Amino acid sequence: MKFSEGRGELYSFYQLMNEYVIEIPIIQRDYAQGRLDKIELRNEFLQAIKSALFENKPINLDFIYGSTTNGILQPLDGQQRLTTLFLLHWYAAVKDKTLNEKNKEILSKFTYETRASSREFCQALIDQSIQNIDENTTISLLIKDSNWYFLSWNHDPTIDGMLRTIDHIHTLFNDLPDLWELLVSDENIISFYHIELKNFGLSDDLYIKMNARGKALTSFENFKASFEKQISDKKWDVNKDFEETFSCKVDTKWTDLFWKHRSHRNGIDEAMIRFFSSIAMISSAIEKTPNRTETIRSLQNDPRAIRPGHFSGLGYNYLHRALDVFTKLYENDHELKVDVPYGSYITNGDIFRTLVYNTVNASYTQKVIFFAQTEYILRNPEIDLVLFEDWMRVVRNIVNRGDIERSGSKASIVRSPESFDGAINLINELATGCSNIYEFLVTHTVTSQFAKSQIEEEQLKARLIGYGKHNKKAIVEAENIDFFSGRISLLFECIDFDGRDDSFNLDKFLDVANVFRVYIDNEITDKLRRALLTISTDSGDNNYYDYWWSWSYAVDANKRCLITKKSELEYYVYGNYKSRDEYKQYLIKLVQQLVDYNLDEIIDMFEPPVEMPNWKKRLIKEPNLLSTYCKSKYIAIPESEKCCYLLKGVRPRDIDSCFKVQ
């Protein structure tokens, strides 16, 4: 045994058993390395040991964490490796016929507290042993055929895994001479560091936290083992104190972080793998890796597809820093919830929990928001909640900018690997000024082309905000109107603001914002539809419903929509359809009138032009027509326009389902 400063004591398995009784604690999961579906992991581990022994090249199996009491070592982490090493030593003693009383006594110091059957099986292997094995022997069958083997042991998953591992060991090591001597020699060809937890001030309840991951070896545990090897091979942690290494932190402080924010639906391993895969996606975008589109798509579809190869040295460094900063943040009980309505993207304003513990994998948009938050806390050791809120508000405005369908549904602007890549690189560029984003937007040119029109709006608002707190308050309150959700270009159009600072009228801005808040931000009413019918464009048209067309076979006429709901009105204003700017003028003109008059007054004061069809005049002046006969809010207008039909349903079967107005 040797002592390494900061890394604990260096042992071979044989030395550890000489010094301690090794007892797998009851809270540990079953022996999973022997499971049928873990052949690749098991083979990689055993092959590494065989190569080290055969070539006489020492190999270190990393760290074994544990707690010792009265000479009994209970491993917190390392159960899988210790069990496999126990089976390898047992096999070597049997193969080389060195299972004498002394070695039996030493091997008997490895035991399971988890269940009696596992404990009894390990002891029976040592006490009863087996004889006459050769390269063609299937040792598991030989054991099962022994008179000391209980049939009930077939139901113990740990024993099942042990038997499978024994067969695997026999396949790989049966031709290696003097196996026992190689394993127990003073050269310590196979070794690991034993870390006593009390030396790091870790509490006993970390046992529970480390093992809140379920009984099966999880995707994260498989990834972690391979990732630790990559970190070691590439020497990414070589100059760090042990307490700062990935191997230490992933099983201590970082586990604590995810434990504190665990949910009943998802265990901490699922949470950690979501965090790691999100960072891998972000790093791939920032580093512009050649295959980033496929990497991003793959990890979005299945975070468990995470592989060590998804991380470069830069990516690993970012992951390490991100985990550290969130750990520190929550250790100090910092509250990062700000008054920014994220809509359905963020649960209860908690971005971290939304990312790692949502019922479903976080969306592209949620990961962009998470990246923005991470950038702020990484770049600003002292968090200013006002400036942080400014930053997150700008990010919210960008990600809320999405294509709106005619049905009113809004697809996120970040909905593909390509758009995720664009959004991440935009946020990465803006993050250099996240400590005062409004000042940055005024003084810097943004080169990213992603969400360009929204960035231009953010720059315009930043300039206005720079002129005074009253402007900021007005703009923030307007952005929070649900109809806008951060995008207020329409409001600027309503006050004829052309972008020149001297043309901005705060009073007009407040008045128009209030119109949207009162009349537009709730569900669309028949009164609003009737008022829209009074509005004419500059060319004299007053057919606001012409933005949408279909055909009604029930009455053989053009079918039009009077706008059924608020989200459809968003499409009317922002949707990607021909002549949108023309039809948007109807709403702008109505809003401008609503500054001085209410809907009733607009309808009552309306003087219809001579050429307006009578049916349209009636729809404006007779409120019961729409409320009683047009529940669907769809109408059909014949080519002659001498009448219209009010449709009770969206697709009436016959003319009897339609009310004729002329």
**Segment 480-484 mean pLDDT:** 91
Asked whether residue 27 is assigned to any structural domain, the reply reads yes
Classify residue 561 as exposed, middle or buried by CB count within 10 Å of its CB (0-12, 13-18, 19+).
buried
Per-residue confidence band for 24, with pLDDT thresholds at 50, 70 and 90:
confident
**Segment 188-210 mean pLDDT:** 65
> How many whole angstroms separate alpha carbon 536 and alpha carbon 569?
18
**Segment 516-524 mean pLDDT:** 92
> How many whole angstroms separate alpha carbon 533 and alpha carbon 270?
55
Tokens of 507: 């009073």
Asked whether residue 237 is assigned to any structural domain, the reply reads no
Helical ranges in 332-416 per DSSP H: 351-357, 364-379, 385-399
Beta strands in 176-311 (DSSP E): 190-196
Q: Which distant-in-sequence residues (6+ apart) come within 8 Å of 212 by Cβ?
A: 259, 262, 267, 268
Query: What confidence score (pLDDT) does residue 65 get?
Result: 79
Query: What confidence score (pLDDT) does residue 605 get?
Result: 96
> How many whole angstroms separate alpha carbon 436 and alpha carbon 391?
7
- Tell me the backbone φ, ψ of residue 45, rounded to 5 degrees: -65, -50
Nearest Cα to Cα of residue 226 among 64, 50, 62:
62
Of 180, 202, 224, the residue at which a domain comes to its end is: 202
The pLDDT tens digits of the residues spanning 299-330 come to 999 999 999 999 999 999 999 999 999 999 88
How many CB atoms sit inside 10 A of residue 291's CB?
10
Query: What confidence score (pLDDT) does residue 346 get?
Result: 67
Per-residue confidence band for 586, with pLDDT thresholds at 50, 70 and 90:
very high
Asked whether residue 421 is assigned to any structural domain, the reply reads no
The residue ranking higher by pLDDT, 600 or 403, is 600
Asked whether residue 497 is assigned to any structural domain, the reply reads no
Residue 103 reports pLDDT greater than 80? yes
Residue 39 region, left (φ>0) first, then alpha (ψ -120 to 50), else beta? alpha
Counting residues of the chain whose pLDDT is more than 70, the rounded percentage is 90
> How many whole angstroms separate alpha carbon 89 and alpha carbon 18?
13
**Segment 32-45 mean pLDDT:** 86
Query: What confidence score (pLDDT) does residue 204 get?
Result: 47
Query: What confidence score (pLDDT) does residue 396 get?
Result: 92
Residue 216 reports pLDDT greater than 50? no
How many CB atoms sit inside 10 A of residue 640's CB?
8
State the sign of the Cα–Cα–Cα–Cα dihedral 153, 159, 164, 165: negative
pTM: 0.70
> How many whole angstroms separate alpha carbon 565 and alpha carbon 333?
43
Residue 458 reports pLDDT greater than 90? yes
**Tokens 């399971």 correspond to what residue?**
112
The residue ranking higher by pLDDT, 251 or 355, is 355
End-to-end CA distance of the chain: 100
Residue 210 reports pLDDT greater than 60? no
**Segment 47-54 mean pLDDT:** 92
- Pick the range with the lowest mean pLDDT from 5-9, 84-88, 111-115, 426-430: 5-9
Residue 203 reports pLDDT greater than 50? no
Per-residue confidence band for 184, with pLDDT thresholds at 50, 70 and 90:
very high
The residue ranking higher by pLDDT, 27 or 220, is 220
Residue 402 reports pLDDT greater than 70? no
For residue 99, the Cα-to-chain-centroid distance in whole angstroms is 52
Asked whether residue 495 is assigned to any structural domain, the reply reads no
Query: What confidence score (pLDDT) does residue 217 get?
Result: 47
Query: What confidence score (pLDDT) does residue 469 get?
Result: 85
Asked whether residue 314 is assigned to any structural domain, the reply reads no
Q: SS3 for 622?
A: coil
> How many whole angstroms separate alpha carbon 20 and alpha carbon 56?
26
Query: What confidence score (pLDDT) does residue 28 get?
Result: 62
Query: What confidence score (pLDDT) does residue 360 get?
Result: 81
Of 202, 229, 245, the residue at which a domain comes to its end is: 202
- Concatenating the DSSP letter of every residue in 527-556 gives HHHHHHTT---TTS---GGGGS-EEETTTT
> How many whole angstroms separate alpha carbon 21 and alpha carbon 3?
20
Query: What confidence score (pLDDT) does residue 618 get?
Result: 97
Classify strands 72-77 and 59-69 as parallel, antiparallel or unpaired.
antiparallel
Of 168, 202, 236, the residue at which a domain comes to its end is: 202
Asked whether residue 33 is assigned to any structural domain, the reply reads yes
For residue 184, what are the domain limits? 2-202
The pLDDT tens digits of the residues spanning 254-306 come to 988 888 766 655 578 889 999 999 999 999 999 999 999 999 999 999 999 99
Count of domains observed in the chain = 2
Asked whether residue 531 is assigned to any structural domain, the reply reads yes
Name, of 40-49, 106-115, 162-171, 501-510, the range with top average pLDDT: 162-171
How many CB atoms sit inside 10 A of residue 579's CB?
9
Counting residues of the chain whose pLDDT is more than 90, the rounded percentage is 57
Nearest Cα to Cα of residue 307 among 280, 268, 284:
280
Helices (runs of H) and strands (runs of E) counted in the chain: 30, 12
Classify strands 550-552 and 557-561 as parallel, antiparallel or unpaired.
antiparallel
CA within 13 Å, CB half, 295:
23
Query: What confidence score (pLDDT) does residue 174 get?
Result: 93
- Tell me the backbone φ, ψ of residue 468, rounded to 5 degrees: 160, 155
Per-residue confidence band for 60, with pLDDT thresholds at 50, 70 and 90:
confident
- Tell me the backbone φ, ψ of residue 590, rounded to 5 degrees: -65, -45
Per-residue confidence band for 410, with pLDDT thresholds at 50, 70 and 90:
low
